[in-house]
Structure 1
Amino acid sequence: MSTINSQTIHGKVKVGDQAPDFTLSDQHGNQISLSDFQDQKAVVLYFYPKDDTPGCTTEACTFRDSYEAFKDAGAEVIGVSSDDAESHRQFSTKYHLPFALLSDEGGQLRKLYGVPTTLGLIPGRVTYIIDKQGVVRHIFSALFAAEKHIEEARKVIKDLTDQA
């Protein structure tokens, strides 16, 4: 089951926007909503092209290796791709990923956030940093710089923590 709250947002989410809420299933069949973290944790919401591909594996494992630092800074990491829950479960198990991987089958959430495709074929790699109030504070998009997403996210989360 998935619920995408399209409210009045059409097109591309920008820094300063209220992040659109959603509810999607993770690799264990749990329903995860962005609003679950409201007033509790910042969220590192990263969209990636496909489970168990070289760049996506590098990105997921680098997020895994930094996961405790994100948690210590009061942030939750959530990955999103169009793969189904079983694919996510296998990917998560194989690489011991401690965070949720959400199934955006059909790409509704990707479209709502305005995540681009490359050459009209490859789903984009975009990371959104969302503060505790649900406001998008940073967006980083780079298909071929998977590890840079984690560097950017750590820097922004640290800045948010320092401001609090």
Structure 2
Amino acid sequence: MDFNTISVTNSKGQSVPLSDYNDKVLLIVNTASKCGFTPQYDGLEALYKEYQGMGLEIIAFPCNQFGKQEPGDNTAIQEFCSLTFNVTFPVMAKIEVNGDNTTPLYQYLKKAAPGVLGTQGIKWNFTKFLVSRDRKTVKRYAPKDKPEALKADIESMLNI
């Protein structure tokens, strides 16, 4: 599967080809509104403000597979992210990251950057994947890894 042939769905139900993000470093995160890691939205937004002009794009994918911590519909999720954390990066439609209904994007990411001991499953909300511009490098970060801890890797991929 080629990364740039994958499409995702935005919060309005429209298909968005990942090729729209060509020449961008991508930080892809599965998120939830009622998780202990939800305050990481602040850190993600800070990274977005700092690095978007240099070629970083952050894309959030709400997911309700972990502790049912994302129960809202796409409209409620958008409102929460905007009103609570002033999120300006794209928050896509709710997806599944594990199981039979795993989206093609997460099938790709889990294969490209397996977890500890080669496991492919996503363990919890706010697992992060950093994808280089050429799509050859995919790094995986645990939910407990705060967004600011990714700065060195982001800067390396942005060549700053």
Check whether TM > 0.5.
Answer: yes
Matched residue of 1:68: which SS? Answer: helix
What is the alpha-carbon distance in structure 2 between the residues aligned to residue 69 and residue 41 of structure 1?
14
Q: Secondary structure at the match of 1:101?
A: coil
- Sequence identity, in percent? 10
Which of the residues 64, 74, 78 maps onto 1:89? 78
Question: Whole-Å Cα distance in 2 between the matches of residues 87 and 135 of structure 1?
Answer: 35
The CA deviation at 1:125 is: 3.0
Deviations 1:103-128 (A, max 9, x none): 2434423751336354xxxx343211
SS in 1 for 2:159: helix
Higher strand share: 1
* Residue 63 of structure 1 pairs with residue 44 of structure 2: yes
Structure 2 Cα separation of the partners of residues 35 and 20 of structure 1: 5
Q: Output the amino acid matched with 1:97.
A: V
Q: Does the aligned pair in 2 maintain the 1:127–1:149 contact within 8 Å?
A: no
Q: Answer yes or no: is the 8 Å Cα contact 2:13–2:93 preserved in 1.
A: no
- Distance in 2, matches of 1:30 and 1:96, equals 22
Check if 1:43 corresponds to 2:48.
no
Q: Tell me how far 1:42 sits from its aligned partner.
A: 0.9
Name 1:154's counterpart in structure 2: 151
Note the residue ranges of structure 2 that are not aligned, 5 or more in a row.
64-69, 111-119
Distance 1:26 1:54 in 2: 25
Provide structure 1 residue ranges, at least 5 long, that are not aligned to the other structure.
1-6, 8-17
Contact 2:4 2:19 (C-alpha < 8 Å) held by counterparts: no
Alignment partner of 1:105 is 2:95 = yes
Q: Is the 8 A contact 2:43 2:146 kept in 1?
A: no
Partner of 2:113: none
Pick the aligned partner of 2:35 from 40, 49, 53.
53
Q: Where does residue 14 of structure 1 map in the other structure?
A: none
User: Residues of 1 paired with 2:37 and 2:95: CA distance?
Assistant: 20
Q: Give the AA of the match of 1:87.
A: A
After superposing the two structures, state which structure 1 stretch, 89-98 or 105-114, moved more. Answer: 105-114
Give the Cα separation in 1 of the matches to 2:137 and 2:17: 16
DSSP 3-state at the match of 2:91: strand
- CA distance in 1: counterparts of 2:15 and 2:150, whole angstroms: 24
RMSD: 2.7
Mapped contact 1:116–1:124 kept (Cα < 8 A): no
Distance 1:59 1:106, change over 3 A: same
Shift of 1:155: 1.4
Q: Is the contact between residue 133 and residue 157 of structure 2 (CA under 8 Å) also seen in structure 1? A: no
TM-score of the pair, normalised by structure 2: 0.68
